[in-house]
Structure 1
Amino acid sequence: MPSELTNLSASELAAGFRRSDFTPVDVADAVLSRIAATDGDLRAWTRLNPAFRRDAEVAARMFDTDRDVPPLLGIPIGVKDVIDTAGLATEGGSRLYAGRIPGVDAMVVSRITAAGALVVGKTNSHELALGATTPPTRNPLDRNRIPGGSSGGSAAALAARQVPLALGTDTGGSIRIPAAACGVVGLKPTYRAESCAGVIPLAPSLDHVGPMARTVTDLKLLHAVLQPTAATIAVPAAPRVGLVASLLHPCSPGIAEAVTAAAGFLRSAGLTVTELDLPDLAEANETGMTLLLAEALAVHGPAAQQRPELVSPDVESFLDIARNLPSDRVAEARRSRTVITDRMRTLMNDVDVLLTPGLVCTPAPYGALPTDPLDLGGETLSVADAHVRTNLLFNLTGQPAGVLPVGLADDGMPAGVQVVGRTGEDAVVLDVMARLEAGCR
């Protein structure tokens, strides 16, 4: 039974608890066994919660005594190591903050625990959430590849069937990149729709915290706890879809084919699908990276300058770029952001959601550097450029964006599609994701 329990989704676990097929303690034991068996080389976790099994015992007694139980009661969840958990170290994946133990939970942790979820432990984050490779975590689908980042630990734990739910953060794609790389699902919600209180910041004007899961049904379950007012948003019966053709080149051919097929499925299901281009994508990504680096330097620069020996070379290289940004360039980026956001708002007048690749590449080899080149069907992009190409724009605009797998690329790794909605319309994004999951997985 233990291996069978870790294969179940959160929704299936909740139903099994209600039927008394098994208990939260059975599931907790299965999760701990699964982690012990698989995490030696995967390294998705920085630490486990010593109270996890005891919390499962409390949840089991609640099922015995209460008829009306909270929606996530007994469900295990991983929490990224930038999200505060009271009494459990939260270090931001960095030696700069080693031994940091928060006194109170982050707002999102308070919400999931109030809903009955059981925190298994802290999942690995790329240092300071400033990177897309998340060492030392490896991709469960191919241990010789990266899991993406910076929420790579959460995505790896999900893909390895260690937990059914996880929390991540997203400043330039850090939920969506690892979701696409590991073949799981994730949502970057509308900016500030889910509170970042108690989350170690990277770039506050771009930071988002959001849900990750293995199925869209589970993603919606967790999202409803984090954002209880989302159910009040009206979802069109037939959302209008814009396929962003300009993001299919350069792109790994297998991914471009899978995204095109996903658009074809929606069209065959009766939705209107129109091809369109994103205006000034290069400008948007340059603007976003300028603001991200400038804000990251303001947040972490003082600590890094005081103790440079505790900062890894790749993070230090980003901070060094930020130190050399001209002030007028940062000011211009702030002005450009307003223009780009207005352009996107105008573009979304004619469609309800956009469809893009989740990533334009499959996961890079483990140990890859941000500057390493990737072959994308005869064209090349650096690892860094390939990872932010489809993602950073929507941190800049604050629009909701979710990723799910819709097939396999040429090398057998997942091909993910991204669904982007209007600001505040997270429910529409989740609706289209659910349609795609039903038809393409």
Structure 2
Amino acid sequence: MNTLELDIVSPSIYANPALLHERYERYRTDAPVAWINQEPYRPFWALTRHADIVEIEKQNTLFINEPRQNLVPREVEDRTLAALGKRTAAVRTMIDMDEPDHRKYRNVAQSWFLGSGVTRFHGKVEEICAAWIEKMKDCGPECDFASDIANYVPLAVIMCILGLPEKDMPFVLKSTQQLFGASDSDMKDENDDYGVTVFHNLMDYLGQLVAQRRQNPTDDLASVIANGMVDGAPMAMLETLSYLLITATAGHETTSSALAGGMLAFMQNPEQMKKIVAQPDLWDKGADEIVRWVTPLRHMMRTATQDYVLQSQTIRAGDSIGLMYLSANRDPAVFTNPYEFNVERPASRHLAFGIGAHFCLGRLLALTEIRTFFKKLLPQLALIELAGEPQFAQSNFIGTLKKLPIRYRFR
């Protein structure tokens, strides 16, 4: 088996982007399909090249989501297996599902995310972005952009879309950070149980929401999901709660990461910020480049249903495969000067939204939020610079900036 003695899975490595990218480059060159056997995780194949990930992703019946969606410590998987009879948490979101269920449940809200819903809420997105820019002015001349602004803009949008009260924002934010940052000592919950308690509290909260929307439907997305139909029958409670869970959490955490990472990229590349302010028609490309550059979702896992040969390596039926999206989005075989942040990058083929059947349902909404926020903010800034060291979360799943201290002045 092809192996390299370089750690690309420990959460601590992901808090050091320069070191991580150096190691990814070695893997792409020397071991693009590499067997990783490193505690505390069960062994898996790591794919670091763009083409190999695309090859696997486009065969979604051969390489399935069940039973392993992301890297979770073996001990946590074993506890879950003992309690539930399976290694994954007690949810059934779309990222847990395979065909034909995946397509059926995706269809419940797909039309909302791919057109009418996003268009209908565009004015509200603009209003929310403008309000948080005003809050940024009030915080000046310094703030922590990650924790004070970027965390809240997408959260405010998803709360509005779901019809959740603004007073619940702190609860939803804290729950999301503790779920996705369970490997970071600063973000995990006080029970130190890898998010189990947080998960149950959040599911109880969403259960109350479902009961309300089924009794009194409104015109929000929560009502669409709570009253969703599959195969001519109402969705079961497990699937309904899981649908809301992934919408309410992943729906803002990844976009928050993109906003914070995008701001850092602009400060590190001021010529790109000047260019896009002078040419606002670049924003369609620019928003996509921010997502490629940040790649908020660092990896996903698939499981082979039969033997398969990839780059001369034999992947056996039952083997796990790690799709290392962050590495793929720096692959020089696909991206010219991949380590350059370039708002004019043409026709990006990045994998930050995935590819194939599991292509991110929230792509249009995320790009709308990123484009709208920066398009409003950047022309108003006379000065913006770092006021301290950025700090990335120790997480190999979501690329979160925990701290981004900035100094700024509005015109």
Using the size of structure 2 for normalisation, the TM-score is 0.29
Indicate the structure with greater helix content. Answer: 2
The higher relative CO (CA closer than 8 Å, separation ≥ 6) is in: 2
